[in-house]
Structure 1
Amino acid sequence: MNPIKILIIYAHPDDESFGNAGTIAKYTTEKNVEFHIACATRGEAGKLGDPPLTTREELGAYREMEMAQATRILGVKQIHYLDFLDGTLHMLSDTENEQLVKSIVKVILDVKPHIIITFPEDGISLHKDHIAIHFATKAALDIVKNTYTIPKVYYSVVPKSIYHSRGLLDRGVDDQFVTIKEDIDLYRKQKLEALKKYKTQIFSVNKVYPGLLDSNDWSIIPKYEFYQLIRLYGKSVDGSTYHETSILDHLSDYA
């Protein structure tokens, strides 16, 4: 039986491990699921590590290596780099943005995923390049819909209640619009191991999960990853009244 294909569309190496590592590990382990990642950049504008592990000129190649190691732990099938420059996605010219959209369209039509996961409108963290990927992916979906019907499209989200508990009042999706709390309890160790591969991004890991790297205690990682269903078989979904138990719900025709 052919695998269910899931395409994650993000801006940087490590976005997948912060947002979806538990989900990826869970479904590559438990189900016949094949994950692909469309990564717009190689993270060339990111941190170099503390102390620095590479040079600014070589950072893109270094982070590509880190991503290969992290996604191997999670069981990702393939990474599709779109070859745009980190830190520039939010300020592309109209022509360059059109090229970004076309690059996403190409990956979608090459992979023909059953599920697409990407950033919500706030980019999860308000990162400008994340937000740019959100809008580029939306544009790509509008182009693709007349050629290929994608069964399900999700945003990877953080509920407002979680951000509010951290004192961040300007972020997150209203809890009522969270379609799924994906239980990743059994896969938090894999998520830790994937995050540890991003040695250049130690500052970001420590910021999101204080104490995680020093303690090596995967129980610091929350038990859930959250998703908001946006489209089901090409039709928009009212997330406030629509809830699921798994991102594989409603895919019985493919399972």
Structure 2
Amino acid sequence: MLQPERQILVVFPHPDDEAFGVSGTLAQYAKAGTPITYACLTLGEMGRNLGNPPFTTREELPLIRKKELQASCEAIGIKDLRMMGLRDKTVEFEDDEEMVAMMTNLIDELNPSLIITFYPNYAVHPDHEATARAVVRAVRRMPESDRPRLYGLAFANNTVAELGDPDIINDINDVREEKMNSMRAHISQTGWMLQEEEKRKEEGATAENNWFTNEHFYSYRFDEDFEDSF
């Protein structure tokens, strides 16, 4: 397991972001009794998957994804879920300073020793990028001695070429079932991945490095900041 933490703050824009990238690590921390707050910015109401044939309508999808998010947090062991009320696929258009203020308020309230979010410029989706920028800006404005550690998820095609290999590789085999349950909770969006994993196992695949055995993070490099001036 990673080093002990006083309080962890997780900030992602969509329900299921936590399941894909960090649910195993968070489950380990939850089992150790570490307080975890998950600030989920939207309810993923613009999610692409409505089923074929459709299992819901666009109007009802937010209610489904809200319940899935709550079930995922329960599977992981997260007791403090904050649904921040922004709209899916519009996070990039929110006022920058209001976004930073939202993050600053969370940090001031919780005093986390670790924050987990996406890594700016390597997170692919515009909502991911806007979230990452706001978190980094909020932490950057803190006195350096007071800053929590900041871990970023990065998965753009150029990530390894430009950032190198992740400096944190966490073995989550001991909480594989918790991660699977977090993924299952978001079944409206993750069904395809779970099917692929079942097929992989049926074909005799062993536990090589994948999302269900290890989770990877990059410590944010303030000496290589994503903004040249600020």
Q: Same fold (TM over 0.5)?
A: yes
- Deviation string 1:98-147 (CA, Å, 9 cap, x unpaired) is 222211211111111110011012343x111101111111222234x149
Q: What letter corresponds to residue 212 of structure 1 in structure 2? A: E
User: Structure 2: any 5+ residue segments left out of the alignment?
Assistant: 225-230
Cα distance, 1:210–1:28 mapped onto 2, change above 3 Å: same
Deviation, 1:3, is: 6.8
**Paired residues of 2:139 and 2:148 also in contact (CA < 8 A):** no
Q: TM-score normalized by structure 2? A: 0.80
Q: TM-score normalized by structure 1? A: 0.73
Q: What letter corresponds to residue 181 of structure 2 in structure 1? A: E
The aligned counterpart of 1:242 is none
Cα distance, 1:51–1:192 mapped onto 2, change above 3 Å: farther
**Paired residues of 1:41 and 1:86 also in contact (CA < 8 A):** yes
User: Structure 1: any 5+ residue segments left out of the alignment?
Assistant: 164-169, 239-255
Distance 1:77 1:49 in 2: 30
1:139 aligns with one of 129, 137, 140? 137
User: 74-83 or 53-62: which moved more?
Assistant: 53-62
The aligned counterpart of 1:224 is 214
1:73 aligns with one of 64, 72, 75? 75
Deviation, 1:75, is: 0.6
**Paired residues of 1:39 and 1:80 also in contact (CA < 8 A):** yes
Q: What letter corresponds to residue 179 of structure 1 in structure 2? A: D
- Deviation string 1:29-81 (CA, Å, 9 cap, x unpaired) is 2x231211111111011023444333211222221110100111111121112
1:9 aligns with one of 7, 11, 35? 11
**Paired residues of 2:5 and 2:113 also in contact (CA < 8 A):** no
SS of residue matched to 1:211: helix
Cα distance, 1:105–1:70 mapped onto 2, change above 3 Å: same
Distance 2:115 2:211 in 1: 24
Distance 2:154 2:219 in 1: 10
Distance 1:49 1:107 in 2: 35
The aligned counterpart of 2:227 is none
Cα distance, 1:237–1:77 mapped onto 2, change above 3 Å: farther
Matches within 5 A, 1:171-210: 171-174=158-161, 176-202=164-190, 205-206=192-193
